Structure 1
Amino acid sequence: MKVKDTLLLFDLDGTLWDSAAPVAEAWNEVFQRECPGLPLLTNDDIHSVMGLTMKEIGQTLYADLEIPRRDEIFDICCVYEVEYLHSHCGTLYPDFRATMEALKAEGYQLAVVSNCQRGYIDAFLASSGAGDLFLDYEEWERTGLTKGENIRLVMERNGYKKGVYIGDTKKDQEASLQAGIPFIHAAYGFGKAENPDGVINALTELPAALKKLLK
C-alpha cells in the first residue's frame, strides 16, 4: 500500500481523546435535574462503557431502571452531552495535533469513525480545534450502521479502496475485520486486542507503526 492510496481512520474515545470527565459532568447534571436520587456517575463508570452506542450505555449502566424512563433520560443526556462538549474539551492524548500534522505532511488523509451519537464528533472537532485535520467522519446514530460498515462508507465516498483503522478495543478490531482493512491497536486506551496488525503505546508511535505496516 502507498501512503497516498491509504486512508487513516480513527476511533475517537480512547484513541484520540478521553472525554470521560466532561461526559460524566454533563450526564450528572441531567440526572440531578430529571431523576433526583439516581446514583451519579464517575469517570470510571464512563470509561467502562466507552465504545458502546448510547442505547447500549443506558442498558449497561442502569439495567434496573424502568425502560421507558431510562430511554427518555439517556436521550436527554445524548443531546446535552454534545452541547456540553462543544465548550468543555476532553483530554487530548499527548502530542495529538503534532502527530496528526506529521501524518498529513507524509501524505495521509485522516478520518474519524465512532459508535457515537449525532453531533459528538462535531463537538470533538470544535472543542479541540482539530476541524482542519480530518477529511471526513461518520457516527453510528447518523447512519444506524455498524462501525465496520461506517468505515467502508467513509472510504468509498472519499474514493479509497485501502485504509487502516486505529482504535483501542476488541470491537474496533472486529470493525476493521468487517471492513477488510488492517487494524492498529492503541494500547494506551480503554481496551485490548488479539494479534492486531500493529500496536502503539502512544500516538507519537503511529507514524513508525504505519511505515512498518505499509512498507
Structure 2
Amino acid sequence: MDKQATILKPDALLFDMDGTLWDGVNAYAQGFNDFFKAHGIKRSFTKKDLFKYMGMEEEPFLALILPEFTAVERKTVYREIIELQYKRIETDGGELYEGVKEGLSKLEEKYKLFIVSNCPEFTIQYFMDWAHIGAYFTDTLAHGMNYRPKHENIKYLIGKYNLQSPVYIGDTDSDRKQCELLDIPFGFVSYGFGDTMDYNLRFDSFDQLTNYFYTNTV
C-alpha cells in the first residue's frame, strides 16, 4: 500500500482509542470481575486475558468472552458490565500513552481531531474526561452508539465535516482493513495492542506521530 503523496497534507486525524491513545484494559477487566463477584460467578479476567479481543465489535466480542450466556443474555449482562467499567475508568483510569496529551494540544492547532472506536457508547467520553483531553477533539463516534462497522462510522464523520484528506490512526491490522474499505491512508502505531505489516505510515511513539504531522501540514 503506497499512498504517501495523499497523506502529506491531511486536513483531519481520526484516532482509534484503545492501544492508540491509552491502555484502559485493566479497568475493562475489573468491570467484568466486579460483575462476576456481584453475581457469585466463579470467573475472573486479567488484563492479559482481554488483550487479544481488543478492537472487536460488540457482538463477536461477547460471543467469545461470555459463551456461557445466550446472545440475548449477553447483551443484558454486558449493559451491567459496561456501567461497572465506567466506574472503574472514573476511579482507576488507565495508562495514557506518553506524549498523547501534549501531542494532541499541538495537533489540534492544525487539524480537526476525532476518535472512532469499537467501544461501548460512552467509553470515549469517560476516557476523555479522565484524561482531560476532550477539548482537543471536534467529534467522536463509538460502535456502541449505532452498532455500525468502524469504516461506516469513519465515513459518517468524513461526510459530516466535509473532510477532504483524512488519515485514520490505529494499532491493528483490523484498523488497516477498515481504512482500505474507504481508500483512506492508515497510520499504524507500533506501541499498541496489535500488529500489521501493511500501512502508509508507522509511528513508534506518539511523539514521533506528533512531530510528523505537526511539520507536514497544509
Structure 1 length-normalised TM: 0.89
**Structure 1 contact 155–163 (Cα < 8 Å) conserved:** yes
Which SS does the other structure have where 1:44 is aligned? helix
Aligned twin of 2:101: 97
Aligned to 2:197: 194
What does 1:10-159 correspond to in 2, within 5 Å?
A: 10-37=15-42, 39-63=43-67, 65-67=68-70, 68-105=72-109, 107-159=110-162
Q: 1:28 deviation in Å?
A: 0.4
SS at match of 1:40: coil
The answer to whether the 8 Å contact 1:14/1:190 transfers is: yes
Q: CA deviation at 1:212?
A: 8.6
TM-score by length of 2: 0.88
Contact 1:184 1:197 in 2 (8 A): yes
Look up the equivalent residue of 1:75 and give its one-letter code.
Answer: R
Length, aligned pairs only = 212
Call closer, same or farther: CA 1:122–1:3 in 2, change over 3 Å.
Answer: farther
**Cα distance, 1:4 vs. partner?**
7.8
Query: Does the 8 Å CA contact 1:16/1:93 hold for their aligned counterparts?
Result: yes
Alpha-carbon distance in 2 for matches of 1:100, 1:211: 10
Matched, 1:183 2:167: no
2:108–2:137: 8 Å Cα contact kept in structure 1? no
C-alpha distance in 1, partners of 2:181/2:191? 23
Deviation sequence 1:59-111 (CA, Å, 0-9, x none): 11232x03144443223112322243234322100011111112123x11210
Unpaired stretches in structure 2, ≥5 consecutive residues: 1-5
Aligned-pair identity (%):
25
| Partner Cα separation in structure 1 for residue 128 and residue 215 of structure 2 | 29
Whether contact under 8 Å (1:5, 1:160) holds in the other structure is no
Q: CA deviation at 1:19?
A: 0.3
The amino acid of 1:153's aligned partner reads Y
CA contact (8 A) 1:2 1:214 kept: no
Conservation of the 8 A alpha-carbon contact between 2:7 and 2:185: no
Mean CA deviation greater in 5-14 or 26-35:
26-35
Q: Does 1 or 2 have the higher relative contact order (CA < 8 Å, sep 6+)?
A: 2
Question: For 1:5 and 1:212, how far apart are their aligned partners in 2?
Answer: 11
Deviation at 1:5, TM superposition (A): 5.7
Aligned AA for 2:11? T
Check conservation: 2:16, 2:170, Cα contact below 8 A. Answer: yes
* Change in 2 beyond 3 A, CA 1:31/1:91: same
Matched, 1:207 2:210: yes
Match of residue 169 from structure 1 = 172
